[in-house]
Amino acid sequence: MWAGLGLVLALCLLPGGGTEIQNCKEAPEWRIGKENPMLNSRGSVTVVALLQDLRVKLENEGLVNIRYMVVNHKGTYSQRKFHLLKESVSDHITVYQQDEEQADVWNTLNGNKDDFLIYDRCGRLVYHLGLPYSFLSFQYVEESIKIAYCENKCGNCSYTVFSCLILYILGMEIGFDWYLKKNYSSMINPKRCDLEFTHFMCLGRELLNIFQSEL
């Protein structure tokens, strides 16, 4: 429905690299074979980790169009366990095995074991979470995703405007635009897609319930 945001969470199975934080900078280029996952993820949310339960929870709350990825560690042990890693995640999560001939992705990203790197829709680093903050039993990962999804923490992004236009057009097509204009006129101007509208998008499920109750 919406052009997605661009968020990346990254996980490796073995230690490697530091955890230097460079928020709001674009991710350094890294490749798996000939594929550039970060470039291919522009305009969509990308989550790299074992996050099946969290993925379902966020989608149920209306945070859709998130791309989930796992980048396996380059070590020999991790490579031998790659098939088990793929089997442990759903089809909604892409699993990458690093190429031995290419630079180590986690060294490139200054990543470490169990780190989560969260990027916005324009590929800019919003959060880099390491242990213990990356434990999914805590709320740090989930809240960081929601902030990257619902706020322009790193400034404006062209994909926000595109998302706004798509939602506005779809609203007109399904007859929903009258309700938007009546109650949220300042938010639906296609020329004004700012933080306020992004928050409005994140209220999609609640707003739809209100809309249905007024019919």
Burial class (CB in 10 A: 0-12, 13-18, 19+), 100: exposed
* N-to-C CA span, the chain: 22
Checking if the pLDDT of 140 tops 70, the result is: yes
Look at 85 and 183; give whichever has higher pLDDT.
Answer: 85
Give the mean pLDDT of 77-88. Answer: 80
3-state DSSP of 7-24: CCCCCCCCCCCCCCCCCC
Of the pLDDT bands very low, low, confident and very high (cuts 50, 70, 90), residue 213 is: low
> Which token pair is 151?
């706020």
Q: What is the mean pLDDT of the chain?
A: 67
Angstrom distance (rounded) from CA 205 to CA 62: 6
Neighbour tally for 150: CB within 10 Å: 17
3-state secondary structure of 26: strand
Checking if the pLDDT of 105 tops 80, the result is: yes
pLDDT of residue 3: 39
DSSP of 63-125? ---EEEEEE--SSHHHHHTHHHHHHTS-TTEEEE---TTS--HHHHTT--TT-EEEE-TTSBE
| pTM greater than the 0.75 cutoff | no
Q: Name the CATH topology of 37-150.
A: Glutaredoxin (3.40.30)
pLDDT of residue 52: 64
Tell how strand 116-119 and strand 66-71 pair up: unpaired
Rounded to 5°, angle at Cα 10 from 142 and 204: 35
Of the pLDDT bands very low, low, confident and very high (cuts 50, 70, 90), residue 74 is: confident
> Which token pair is 154?
């790193």
Checking if the pLDDT of 88 tops 60, the result is: yes
pLDDT of residue 91: 78
Dump pLDDT digits (tens) for 42-58. Answer: 766 555 554 567 777 87
Dump pLDDT digits (tens) for 148-195. Answer: 887 778 888 777 554 444 444 444 444 544 444 554 444 444 444 443
> Which token pair is 20?
């230097």
- Among 56-60, 121-125, 197-201, which is the least confidently predicted range? 197-201
Q: Where are the domains of the chain?
A: 37-150, 158-214
Neighbour tally for 168: CB within 10 Å: 19
Of the pLDDT bands very low, low, confident and very high (cuts 50, 70, 90), residue 16 is: very low
Locus of tokens 């031998």: 80
The residues facing 86 across adjacent strands are none
Locus of tokens 């993925």: 55
Angstrom distance (rounded) from CA 12 to CA 172: 44
Of the pLDDT bands very low, low, confident and very high (cuts 50, 70, 90), residue 83 is: confident
